[in-house]
Amino acid sequence: MTALAPSRTLVVAAASRHGGTCEIADRLAWTLENDLPLGWRVIRPDLTDLQVLDDADAVVLGSAIYYGRWMRAAARALAYLKDAPLFDLWLFSTGPVSDVESENAQIISADSMVEAGQAIEHKVFGGRLDTSRLSWVERTVVKAVHAIPGDHRDWDEVDEWAHHIAQKLSVVPGTDGTTDISGQDAVR
C-alpha cells in the first residue's frame, strides 16, 4: 500500500516583533499537522516571500499587535490575500495585554474581514511581554497603555483553536453528496 501524496496545502504564517507570536504559529502548525488527515501538507514559512501563499488551499495568518496595529509583514500578507482566489482563511492576533478591558476589545481590522466574509474567523490570543527585551520607546508605550508584563499565552486555547481549524478542514463533501469528516471519501 502506498501513501497518498499531499494534495492540499495549509500555510501557517505570522509576523512577530519579539518571537512570541511566531511561537504560537509554530504550535498551530505542529498541532494542525498532527490533526489533519492524509492529503494535507502544513507549511510554516516566514512572510518574506508572499508567493508561498499562491498555492495554498487554506491559510492561517497571524500578527502581534504592535502600536495598536498588525505588523507590516502580516498586513502586507493580508493585503496580498485579499486579491487571491477564494480559499479558507483564519486570522489571529496576539495582544494587546492591558489592564483596561475595553482596550483589549478594540482589536484591528481583521474582524472586518470576517464580517465581510473574506475570512472564516479572527482569534485573539494573549501575548508575551518581556519588558527586558524592549527598547526605551517600547517600554514607555507599554507603560502608557497599561500593558501587563508576562507570558499571557494560553497554550490550551491555541491547541483548541488548531483542533477546531483541523476539524473544519477535514470536512470534505463526498462525490455522492454526503459529507466525510475524515478527509477521505468513504468506500461504499
Q: pLDDT by residue (tens digit) across 97-115?
A: 544 454 444 455 566 677 6
Q: How confident is the model at residue 74 (pLDDT cuts 50, 70, 90)?
A: very high
Give the distance, in angstroms, between the CA of residue 42 and the centroid of all CA atoms in the same chain: 13
Report the C-alpha gap between 113 and 119 in whole angstroms.
Answer: 6
- Residues with Cβ < 8 Å from 136, sequence gap 6 or more? none
Q: What percent of the chain has pLDDT over 90?
A: 38
Q: How confident is the model at residue 84 (pLDDT cuts 50, 70, 90)?
A: confident
CB-CB contact of 89 with 120 (8 Å): yes
For the chain, the straight-line distance linking the first and the last C-alpha, in angstroms and rounded, comes to 19
Q: How many CB atoms lie within 10 A of CB 110?
A: 25
Report the C-alpha gap between 120 and 170 in whole angstroms.
Answer: 15
CATH of 8-180, one of 3.90.1170.20, 3.40.50.360, 2.160.10.10, 3.40.50.2300: 3.40.50.360
pTM here?
Answer: 0.77
